[in-house]
């Protein structure tokens, strides 16, 4: 995880988890590292890891039973919402970047389609 020094680190950790969920690296019900392990592996402050876990519990992304490791939620609605949220956030960034160029939407979609297929082909060839 590359840390942006201008954004609260705990929110960056939460996003990192959401990305892992969307990619499928974390699946419903999976145990996640302890706060201590997470701090060491992401090279962040243990207090920040703690705060990120608290935030994720509040958002219903993870849950923790007393004396057991925390787990990714099994609530499908929440997991689907995570995916939607990431897609929307990425599209927002894209739209913000492309809007000033004023491309007709049809042309834009055609280019996006081409690029996207090309990207997938290249990944499959690797």
Choose the binding region for other proteins from 21-29, 44-52, 85-93, 112-120 (rule: CB under 8 A): 44-52
25 φ, ψ (degrees, to nearest 5): -70, -25
Question: Rounded CA gap, 19 and 21, in Å?
Answer: 5
Minimum CB–partner distance for residue 29 and other proteins (Å): 27
Residue with smaller CB distance to other proteins, 18 or 35: 35
Whole-number minimum distance, CB 54 to other proteins, in Å? 12
Residue 54 contacts other proteins per CB under 8 A: no
- The angle that helices 35-42 and 46-58 make with each other, rounded to 10 degrees, is 120
Residues 6+ apart with CB under 8 A from 49: 13, 35, 36, 38, 39, 42
Residue 67: CB minimum distance to other proteins, A:
18
> Position of tokens 């290249």?
122
Q: Would you count residue 16 as binding other proteins (CB under 8 A)?
A: no
Does 9 help bind other proteins (rule: CB under 8 A)?
yes
């Amino acid at each position: 995880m590359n840390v942006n020094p201008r954004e609260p680190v705990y929110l960056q950790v939460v996003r990192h988890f959401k990305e892992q969920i969307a990619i499928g690296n974390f699946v419903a019900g999976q145990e996640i590292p302890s706060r201590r392990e997470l701090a060491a592996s992401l090279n962040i402050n243990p207090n920040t890891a703690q705060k990120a876990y608290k935030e994720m519990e509040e958002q219903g992304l993870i849950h923790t039973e007393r004396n057991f490791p925390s787990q990714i939620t099994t609530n499908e609605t929440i997991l689907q919402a995570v995916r939607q949220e990431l897609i929307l956030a990425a599209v927002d960034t894209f739209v913000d970047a492309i809007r000033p160029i004023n491309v007709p939407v049809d042309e834009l979609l055609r280019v996006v389609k081409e690029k996207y297929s090309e990207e997938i082909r290249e990944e499959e060839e690797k």
